[in-house]
Amino acid sequence: MEEVRVRDLVRWTKGNLISGEREEKISSISIDSRTLKKGDFFIPLKGENFDGHNFIDEALRKGARGFLTESQIPKDKVVIQVENTRKALGDIALCYRKLFSIPLIAITGSAGKTMTKEMVSSLLSRKFSVLKSPGNFNNDIGLPLTLIQIDKKKEIVILEMGISKKGEMERLCEIASPNFGLITAIYPAHLGFFKSQKEIALEKGKLLNCLNKEAFLNQDSRYFSILSQRCPVKFRTFGIRKRADFFATQITISEKGIKFLLNDKLPIFLPVHASFLVYNALGAIAIAKEFGILDKEIQKTLSSFSPISHRFSLSSFDGVKVIDDTYNANPASFRMAVKELKRIPSKRRIVVSAEMKELGRFKEEMHYKLGKFLSKNSDILFVVGEGAREIYKGAKDGGLSDAFFYKEKREAAERLKKIIREGDLILIKGSRANKLEEICSIISSIH
């Protein structure tokens, strides 16, 4: 972060300076008293289970230069009173971002945001100094924290934008002022907060209204026509089923990874094991070409791309293959992952599943339908947790005799350990809150 003045923070947040000097310099911001460093300016946020205001004293003991607050607490430091610290964090990032004229690329969608962002970052880093969102910092907290890391050395910013409710995309765009935007795909994620999948598409599509340079759209998406018709800027397309601006043909998968031809000409190799990740690569390539990355650099970078943990990560031990896809799950991504199992040689396909979150009134229906789907596409099914019981019911009703339900992860893992044998292929998948990676650790430690 480049230095700003206290008066800048006051102006940007429309806050009230309780104490401290207006000309004092601020060069770093923290929202976590546990990791705060001496000299950081502390912004206490309120969450469902905590209130950062309770940790102001701790932050000061660690040497915080000052803090925002929603209540009037005079201290012998820089203290700025605001109505809402979470909004103030966004307002600070919004104004700070405007100090820099560098291009900003925003990536959204129901799946593949992080993988696409990492690929774009790897490709553009061949030529530019890139700032990217760490992990999945994609909401109105993580996104501002990324933006305030911009400095004079950075030439491009790449952000994820994740939404779960209506109105959130407009706020993220307001904060970030993106120039370029990419939408990966639209699936039934966060249906608990939307009336339909189309409504999700329209909300994510609001990203396009904020752009002033160019958009990149998945031409194979069910909602491509809606999004393209509403796009006010020039856009390029990527896809597999149709001849888009950037398309893949001759897709082959082996234990080493995926090969395909870009636009029937350029051979591309990816060290990943799910064909749906080709879409992420195509979107990333489209952006890379826009910024002048050469074909040979694209080939070299993607061939050495490091897959992201817990996203269809394939490992093996003693003839058993395990796919760790525990980062997240929605009905569409679950089906895509299961379909990929057919491409990987195995004697038995074992699926370990857990609840898919944020489905609202569609929860029981979506889980039951997934169970029916799994009854036809897996040999053995382990369902973990009460929230996923409908998956078990659907599988049983679909005729899968080897379907088992467990309330606890440990119980499921112990049973799984006993039945694993050489030639098995195991997919472990559920929403992030389930922490199914713990099962991956347990079964991989038995040999």
The pLDDT value recorded for residue 445 is: 67
Q: If you write DSSP's letter for every residue of 170-214 in order, what string do you get?
A: HHHHHHH--SEEEE----S-SGGGSS-HHHHHHHHHTTGGG-SSE
Distance of CA 289 to the CA centre of its chain: 23
Structure tokens at 88: 């103030």
> If one looks up domain 100-303 in CATH, what number appears?
3.40.1190.10
CA distance 404 to 212: 52
Q: What is the largest CA-CA distance in the chain?
A: 72
Strand pairing partners for 238?
218, 246
Residue type, 265: K
DSSP label at residue 51: B
Domain with CATH 3.90.190.20 in the chain: 313-444
- For domain 4-84, the question of CATH label 3.40.1390.10 is answered with yes
Distance, in Å, from the CA atom of 430 to the CA atom of 437, rounded to the nearest integer, reads 9
Return d(Cα 321, Cα 308) in angstroms, integer.
18
Is there a contact between 114 and 136 (Cβ–Cβ < 8 Å)? Answer: yes
CA gap 302, 121 in Å, rounded: 11
Q: Yes or no: is domain 313-444 CATH 3.40.50.720?
A: no
Angle formed at CA 268 by CA 267 and CA 272, multiple of 5 degrees: 150
Q: What tokens were used for 123?
A: 């490709």
Residue 132 Ramachandran class (φ > 0 left, ψ -120 to 50 alpha, else beta):
beta
**Tokens, residue 79:** 């203290």
Its pTM stands at 0.89
Measured CA to CA, the distance from residue 294 to residue 138 in angstroms comes to: 29
Give the C-alpha separation, 323 to 356, whole Å: 18
Rounded to an integer, what distance in angstroms lies between the CA atom of residue 408 and that of residue 49? 24
Other Cβ atoms closer than 10 A to 198? 13
Q: Where in the chain is the domain with CATH 3.40.1190.10?
A: 100-303
Give, rounded to a whole angstrom, the gap between the first and last alpha carbons of the chain.
Answer: 47
Comparing CA positions, the residue from 110, 125, 97, 103 lying closest to residue 284 is: 125
Q: What is the pLDDT of residue 192?
A: 63
What pLDDT score was predicted for residue 188? 67
- pLDDT per residue rounded down to tens, the chain (447 residues): 999 999 999 999 999 999 999 999 999 999 999 999 999 999 999 988 889 999 999 999 999 999 999 987 767 789 999 999 999 999 999 999 999 999 999 999 988 899 999 999 999 999 999 999 998 789 999 999 999 999 999 999 999 999 888 889 999 999 999 999 999 988 766 566 677 888 888 999 999 999 999 999 999 999 999 999 999 999 999 999 878 999 999 999 888 899 999 999 999 999 998 888 999 999 999 999 999 999 999 999 999 998 788 888 888 888 899 999 988 888 888 998 999 998 888 999 999 999 988 788 889 999 999 999 999 999 999 999 999 999 999 999 999 999 999 999 899 999 998 999 999 999 999 887 888 888 888 877 654
Contact 269, 259 (CB under 8 A): yes
Record the tokens describing residue 4, joined without a space.
């700003």
Tokens describing residue 224: 């491509």
CATH code 3.40.1390.10 region(s) in the chain:
4-84
Residue 231 per-residue DSSP state: -
Please give the pLDDT value at position 359: 84
Torsion-angle region of 373 (φ positive above 0: left; ψ -120 to 50: alpha; else: beta): alpha
User: So what's the pLDDT on residue 190?
Assistant: 59
Between the alpha carbon of residue 345 and those of residues 334, 420, 425, 443, the distances in Å are 19, 16, 8, 20
Residue whose entry in the numeric block shows the structure tokens 């888009």: 244
Distance CA 263, CA 247 (A): 5
**161: nearest Cα among 212, 209, 105, 220:** 105
Report the alpha-carbon angle 406-337-215, nearest 5.
135
Q: Which residues contact 186 (CB under 8 A, 6 or more apart)?
A: 109, 110, 197, 200, 201, 204, 221, 222, 223
297: exposed, middle or buried (Cβ count in 10 Å: 0-12, 13-18, 19+): middle
Rounded to the nearest 5 percent, the helix, strand and coil shares of the chain are 40, 25, 40
Give 52's DSSP letter.
Answer: G
Residue with tokens 């430690």: 445
Q: One-letter amino acid identity for 91? A: D
Cβ atoms of 375 and 400 within 8 Å: the answer is yes
